[in-house]
Every structure is written in structure tokens, then in C-alpha cells.
Amino acid sequence: MDHAELARMLHVEDDVRAELNRCARRGLAPLEVPAPMRLSTWMEQHFYLSEESSYEKGAWTFYPFQVAIADCIGHDGIEAVTWRKSARTGYTKIFLGAVCYMAEHKRRNQVVYQPTDEDRDDFTTTELEPALRDIKAMRRVFPKVNRKSKDNTMKKKRFIGCLLHLRGGKAAKNYRRITVDTVYYDEADGFDTDIEKEGSPFKLGDKRIEGATFPKSVAGSTPKLKGFSLIESREAEADERMRYFIRCPHCAEEHTLEWGGKGAAHGMKWRDNDPSTAAHLCLHCGALITQAEYLANWQGRWKSDTGLWIDETDPTTLKFRTPDGQEVPPPRHIAFFTWTAYSPQAAWTSIVGDFLAAARKAKQGDDSDLKTFINTTRGETYEVELERTDATALEKRAETEGNYKLRVVPRGGVVLTAGVDVQGDRWEVVIWAWGRGEEAWVVDDMVIHGNPADEREWDEKLLPYLESPVKHACGIPMKIKATAIDTGGHYTHQAYNFVRSHARNNFFAVKGDSIDGKPVKGKSSLQDVNVRGKIVPRGVRLWHVGTDTAKDLLHGRFKVQKPGPGYVHLSKELSADFFRQITAESRVPVRTHSGERYRWVKPNGVRNEKLDCTVYAIFAAHAMDLHRYTDRMWQRLEVSFEGDLFDTAEGEAPAELQARPAHQPADAPPPPPTLLGGRITLSGMRRAGERRG
């Protein structure tokens, strides 16, 4: 073997050895344990502002107030971070940086929830994908950045060693079958407060991190309406609520930046409606601080309402200290608040100018700009006069005259319908009686405790109640003629099977639909039913209920002041909780994919099962076409309760109205009222005719 051939063989061996080493390093990369690094340090080293989503592309630089927020998001000892914020405070970039940091540095499985699927797509295309393309560090864990595959889609990004899910937050199904370490909620106030009646987005999403070694829940949002703000409610639940304190350049005392306003003793001030005079009044010395003075010495510290403060001097980790300087463990849940005045991107003169313009517009009756200013500049919730029914006034209207007791159908009521709301440990049922012109009476409000997950308990506990006759004031026992049972939340298939198994009872499987203009009785579709592990194809008909339409109808009828058509009768025996729940919701503007729309929404932490049951009972009445009945049709029904027309056996209820079978098309004409179940005598018919004559 000559020297040239030997050299050639050795060179080949070196290439093979080098390639083997590269493959080994690449294969062992998921097992690599990186040195500890704060999120702020990682972002300063790696994060890049992409041209698609930034005014200027290039490296990222933190403002002083942003550092601790980022490092709390990256801190393994903190389980939950909440950030109530205004615009221009850097939330989106820090949130995006955290997603990349958790994937590249900590190899954690994550899920990002956006309010809607459209928001998810927009975030993926304008924020996430440009970041994955431009941040060089991400190429180590995401080599498929420019390739379409099943591991690189709008809904999923598979990195080396971990996975990122991207979901819209409208559908309850998007919160299932995911197991992750970190969950993010972007623009949390854009989510529904109750996701398809299964709970708040935070409750559903945080289930995805149960069992994680280092669970992390991060939520940030610009707040919206007072009492309906998810981010404000979550902030209130935090162990520590932090504000950023700066030092006054005149007296060196600490204070926060506040909006203040014209009549406040501390905060933003200006003279003669001139925005150019805007300055910040110090709480301690009364000196005015210009924005230039603030920016020249804006290094401050985060302190909570309990005095706890964050020490950022250690380059490897944050430390939390008491007012006397003692180090303590980090809080489990920490909340931050920032507003636009802290950011150098917004001039204080512009902030005051925007407010003055919005205030002038509000005086002319248009408060839209003022609402936007309070939400997006001040980072606070906006309080408006809401359209709702007052519970106290409604309770005062409850009737004491006559013999109006619960579980007795008052005179005038000739048809019974019921609505059933299924909860985790019970069934809530409200029975309504209907009379001429859809005059309505609450007949019963019942809570049946049990386990709806067990199909046997539906038959053992719920069914006997729904089948039990209710005594009419004239002495005739009546049965519920139609019952609507909610299937949109808990135990859907158990509800489906119950309805399927008892079709003769006129049970309707229903699901709410809050889209504008939907009829109370909407479209229906056949659904598969899972019966003890066996699928019954097209086993039950599911009806969609126009919930907002029904609530509009009920809200309007609460305004009817005199008994008669459309009047709602309420018994004094109803509990105060019934009145609170049936008036729980307010009609408020909410964000939808087609713009701002008005929806009936319940405040956070408020129960509304009685309202839901009533909506379903209204659906059941519409399913029987009561809203189409003429006076003559109502009169024929009323005859059966005049006392001597029927010779009715004990316990046998006259079937005062035949409900349309569930299979009958929605657009079929209403059936004529039929009087069945009793024996009608000729002499009785004549006497009834003579009385009417």
C-alpha cells in the first residue's frame, strides 16, 4: 500500500468519525441539560424582532419593568403568572419569547390558547412562525421551520424533545386530550367566561398541566368590562399582586405611576386642557415629574400590596424578599399590572391628548373612545350601565295574594314544560306553567342531587320527578308535557341515552346556540349515542336553542307590569337565590369573529342554572308551538280545567296538548289542540257551551 492510498483511507475514516460524532450529538441533544438561565437572559441572547410583527426588526432589549415579569414566567418555582396590562407594554413579545424559551431551553410541552381559531391562525402566521424562522437558537430544536409536515401545522409544532399545541378557546373539545407542562392564555378577556357550560377557560386549561413536574399557567390580557373580566378575576386570586415602583427624582421616595386625573391627589396632571403640559405628580413631595425625568431614572422595583418585593440582582434567579429584606420562597401565583405610561413608546402628552378627545366625545353621548382609552391605555376595566333585570325588584314583585304556592299549578296555567340543567353532582329543574298569550307561572324549582355520570341514577332520581303529576288549583293532576334537557356541558352521552330511552315522555336533547338571530327552537341533527361502550349511530335528535333570543324574550316579559299575555308570575315561596340566578346575566358587547356583538353574559363567579332551566322550558313551549296559538286554541284548552267537564280517574292527567313528535319537521304546521286522557260527556260539553254563551 503506497502512501497516497494510506492517506486517502485515513481521510475517509476521519470523515466517517466526524459524521458519527455529529449524529451522536444530534441524537443525544434531547438528553442535554442546559445550564440554568433566566428567561430575560435567554431573550437578550437569542430573541429577534421579526419584520412581520415589529416596527423595527432586530435584537430584543428589555425595559426595566419588563425583566422581572419575564423571569417569573420562566421561574420553575412559580406555578401561575397573571399579567393585566394595557397596550404597548411588551406583553406579546415576552409571551412569544417564553414559548420559544420553554421549547429550546427547557424542552417543555406547551399549549397556547387564543380566544378563537382565527386568533390562533393569526398568531401562528404573524408571530410564531416568523420567530421560529428568525431566532437562530430555534433551529437546533426545530429544523423543519420551512417545511410543511404533520409536525409543522397551524395547530401543532413538534420540536426536538417537546411539543407545542396551538388551539382556539371557544370549543370545550380543544381543552381535552392534551398533556403539557405549560399553558398560556393570550388576551384572556376575549374568551367566553364559561366554555360550552363546562367551566372557565382557566379551569379547563389548567387541567392540562396537572401532574407536570413544573406546572406553569400564564395568562395576560387587556381588561374589558367590570365584573366580566377574566383577567381581573384571576388577578384577584393571586397570592401576590405586584406594582412597579419608581423613585421620585426630587425626593427619592418610591411611588407607582398612576393615571390620577384632574381631581386626584396623585398621578397625571395638566393645565388648561393642554396635553403638552402633562406631568406626573409625586405622592410624597408634590413635585411634577416630566416624562424625560422619569426615563432618565426609571429603574425601579416590583412590590406587592403585602410589601413583598422582587430582588433582581442575582444573575441566575429572582429572589423574593419581605419588607425587612428577609428572603422567602416565591409565591405560587403572582400577578402584575402595567399600563401605557410606563412604556417609552407612548408620550405622556399623547396619553392626555387621547383622554381629552375621548372625554369630549363621551359628553356628546358616544363613549366608545373613552372605553378604548380605559381598557387599552390605562389597562383597567370599563364600568357601564348594563342591560339586565334587577333581582331585588323582581323579588319584590313576587306574588303574595291568592293561593299561589309552588308545586300547585295556578288557575290560568294549562300546559306544563320543564327545563333541566345538568351539573357535576346534580340536576337542576324548573317547571313552568303556560296560559293564554304565553302568560307564565313558575310551578317548581327543584335540585335533585345525584351522580349524572351513572345512567341508572337518571332513571332512579330524575325520571320519577319528571313523571310525577302536579296538582292544578282546580284539583286536576297535570303532567309535564315537554322537557328540554341540556346536553352541552356535563355528561353528554348520559343525557343523550336518557332522552333516547324515554322518547314517549317528550324529552328533548338540547344545546345552547348564542349566535345572533337564532330562533328559540333552532335546527336539529341526529347524534350518535355511546351506550355502555357501544355506539348507536344517529341515536338521538339534538335541538339547538337560540339562548340569547330566549333571554331577550324573557327579559322583555319581565318588563310586562300587568297580569295577562306575556306576564311572568313569580311565587313568594321562591328562594332569593332563584331571583339572583334568573337575573344573573347582563347583555354586554363581546368580541366575535365578525366584530363586536351583544351577548347575554354572566359575571365571573355567579351561578345561572335557574336562568338556563327557564330558557330550556321556553324552548319546550316553542317545541309545542304555544307561541303560535290563537285565543280560540287557548280557550279550548282552558275548558278542560273548568272542573265538571272531565270524569278523570285519580292520578290520571288530561293530555291538554299533544306535543309534536321529535321526528316531525320544524316547519310543519302546529297540530290542533286535542283533549285526551279523560272522558268527555255530552252533557258536560253542552253545559260548557251554555256557560260560554
Q: How do residues 161-200 score in pLDDT, each as one tens digit?
A: 999 999 999 999 999 999 999 999 999 999 988 888 788 9
Which pLDDT value is given to residue 8? 65
What are the b/e assignments for 23-40, b being 16+ CB within 10 Å?
eeeeeeeeeeeeeebbbb
What are the b/e assignments for 346-370, b being 16+ CB within 10 Å?
bebbebbbbbeebbeeeeeeebebb
Greatest CA span in the chain, whole angstroms? 131
Q: What is the mean pLDDT of residues 347-369?
A: 92
Which entry of 104, 129, 187, 312 is annotated as an active-site residue?
187
Gap between the Cα atoms of 360 and 346, Å rounded: 21
Domains along the sequence of the chain with CATH: 38-239+331-341 (3.40.50.300), 243-329 (no CATH), 348-381 (no CATH), 391-643 (3.30.420)
Q: What is the mean pLDDT of residues 414-420?
A: 96
| In the predicted structure, residue 343 carries a pLDDT above the cut 80 | yes
Residue-wise pLDDT tens digits, 459-515: 999 999 999 999 998 888 999 999 999 998 778 999 999 999 998 889 999 998 877
| In the predicted structure, residue 657 carries a pLDDT above the cut 90 | no
Name the phi and psi angles at 593, rounded to 5. Answer: -65, -20
**Which of residues 592 and 261 earns the better pLDDT score?**
261
| In the predicted structure, residue 122 carries a pLDDT above the cut 50 | yes
DSSP at 127: I
Annotated catalytic, 187? yes
Contacts (Cβ under 8 Å, ≥6 apart) of 27? none
Residue-wise pLDDT tens digits, 326-340: 999 999 999 999 999
| In the predicted structure, residue 320 carries a pLDDT above the cut 90 | yes
Which pLDDT value is given to residue 667? 44
Confidence of residue 57 (pLDDT cuts 50, 70, 90): confident
Gap between the Cα atoms of 427 and 612, Å rounded: 12
> Containing H/E element for 15?
helix 3-28
Name the phi and psi angles at 564, rounded to 5. Answer: 145, -160
For the record, the C-alpha cell of 437 comes out as: 298569550
> Containing H/E element for 483?
strand 482-486
Amino acid at 25: R
Q: Is residue 617 within 8 Å of residue 431, measured between CB atoms?
A: yes
| 3-state SS, residue 155 | coil
Nearest to 437 by CA among 628, 654, 669, 659: 628
Confidence of residue 671 (pLDDT cuts 50, 70, 90): very low
Gap between the Cα atoms of 479 and 477, Å rounded: 7
Cα-atom radius of gyration of the chain, to the nearest Å?
32
| 3-state SS, residue 528 | strand
* pLDDT-above-90 percentage for the chain: 65
DSSP character string of 23-76: HHHHHHGGG--PPP--HHHHHHHH-EE-TTT-SS-EE----HHHHHHHHHHT-T
Q: Give the least confident one: 253-262, 586-595, 656-665.
A: 656-665
For the record, the C-alpha cell of 409 comes out as: 299549578
Residue 195 burial (C-beta neighbours within 10 Å; 0-12, 13-18, 19+): buried
Residue 196 burial (C-beta neighbours within 10 Å; 0-12, 13-18, 19+): middle
Q: What is the pTM assigned to this prediction?
A: 0.73
- CA 125-130-132 angle, 5° bins: 110
**Which of residues 11 and 311 earns the better pLDDT score?**
311
For the record, the C-alpha cell of 635 comes out as: 280557550
